[in-house]
Amino acid sequence: REKQDGQKQDRQEQNEQRKEGQAQDRQDQDGQIAAQAKREQESLYRERFLREPADREDIFADYSCMKLADGLLRQFYITGWPARMMERKYEKQQEAVDLLAERKDSLDVSSAGMTQPVADALFQTQCRMLITEAMVLAMLMALSVSGSERTARTHLTVCVTRTERKIRYVKAAAGLMSALAAYGMLAVSAVGFFALIWYPAPDWGASISSQFHHMSLAGTELPFITWKPFTIGEYLLAVVGMGTVVVMLFYVLAFCLGLWIKSAWGGFVLLILLVAVNFQVIMMAGDSLQWGLYLCAQWTPAGLWWSQNQWFTDMLISGAVPWQECATAALWAALCLILLAVSFHHMKKEDIN
C-alpha cells in the first residue's frame, strides 16, 4: 500500500510538472506571437513612414486663403457683416500662411500617415477630456465653497461680523487653487501616460501644420493653419495653458452663481442650463443660416471650451477675428472679475435673514 501510495504521488507530481511545462510552453508561445505581431506592426509603420513622405510637396507655396474664404461663403450662404469679417480674417491669415511657406513647415514628416490619428487622440480626445473633467471639477469646488454655509446651516454665523464675512475671500482663493492644482495633476498624468503608452509617440519637435495634419469641415480636409508657427509640443503647452483659463472662468462663474442663488445645487443646475441654451442657440442659428447670431454665440465660455480642437487657428466658420479664442478668454476674464467684485460687494451687505 505504501508503495502504491508512493507511485500515485509520483504520478501526480509528474502530471503537475507536465502541466507546468505545458503552461510555460504556452506562455512562451504567446510571448513569441506577441513579439512577432509587434515586429510586424513596427515594420508596417516603418514602411508607411518611408513610403508616404516620398511624394510630399509644400502645400503652402501657392495656398490662397481668400479662395478658401470664397468657398466657405458660397457653401454656407454667409452674407452681410459676418461675410465681411471672415474676409478680413482670411486676409490676415494669408500672412501666417506665407510665413509657414517660408519656413516649409508643411514638409515636416512628423509621424507621416500616423500624424492625424496621433493628433486626434491627443488633442481631440485626450485634451478635451482633460479640460472637461477639470472644468466640471472646478464648478463643483466653486459651488461647494460658495454654498457650504447654507448647506451646513452656518451662514448666520458667517454673516454676523465683517471679519467672518472675509472668510469667503480665503475660501474662494483656496477653492481656485485647489481646482488649478487638480487640473495640473490631471494634465501631467494624462499627457505623461499618453506619451508613454501611445504608439507611435508624437514627434514633439515637428510642426503642427504638417501636411499630414488637417482639420475637417463638411467632409472636406483642410490644412491645419495656426496664426503663428507651433511645434506639436508648443501647441500642446498652448492648449493646456488656454485650458487653465477655461477652468478659471467656469470656477468664477460657478462661485458667483452660488453666492447669488445661495444654493450649491441650484447654481449647478442653472449653470448647466445656461450652457445647454448656449449650444441650442448655436445649433439653431447655424441651421437657420443666422450667421451673425451664430458667431456671437461663439463668444462665450461654453463656446470657447467647445472650440478647443480649433484653438489658435482660423476656426473656419466659427471664427470671426484672428486669435478669437484669446479675445474671448480676455473678454470673459474681465467680465468675471467685474462679476466677482459685484458679488463680493453684495456679500458685504448681505442680510443675515
Report pLDDT for 214.
84
Report pLDDT for 178.
92
Give the Cα separation of 296 and 321 in Å (integer). 12
Report pLDDT for 49.
55
Give the Cα separation of 204 and 291 in Å (integer). 37
At 247 the three-state DSSP class reads helix
Residue 77 Ramachandran class (φ > 0 left, ψ -120 to 50 alpha, else beta) = left
End-to-end CA distance of the chain: 93
pLDDT tens-digit series, residues 185-196: 999 999 888 888
Report pLDDT for 45.
55
Nine cell digits for residue 163: 471679519
225 burial (CB, 10 Å; 0-12 / 13-18 / 19+) is buried
Report pLDDT for 11.
73
pLDDT tens-digit series, residues 248-298: 999 999 998 888 887 777 888 888 899 999 999 999 998 898 999 999 999
Report pLDDT for 146.
79
User: Torsions phi, psi of 322, nearest 5?
Assistant: -65, 145
Ranges of the chain whose pLDDT falls below 70: 1-8, 21-22, 24-25, 28, 30-56, 111-112, 148-165, 199-201, 348-353
Report pLDDT for 40.
59
Predicted TM-score (pTM) of this structure: 0.80
Nearest-CA neighbor of 38 among 27, 48, 46?
46
Burial 310-326 (b: 16+ CB within 10 A, else e): bbbbbbbbbbbbbbbbb
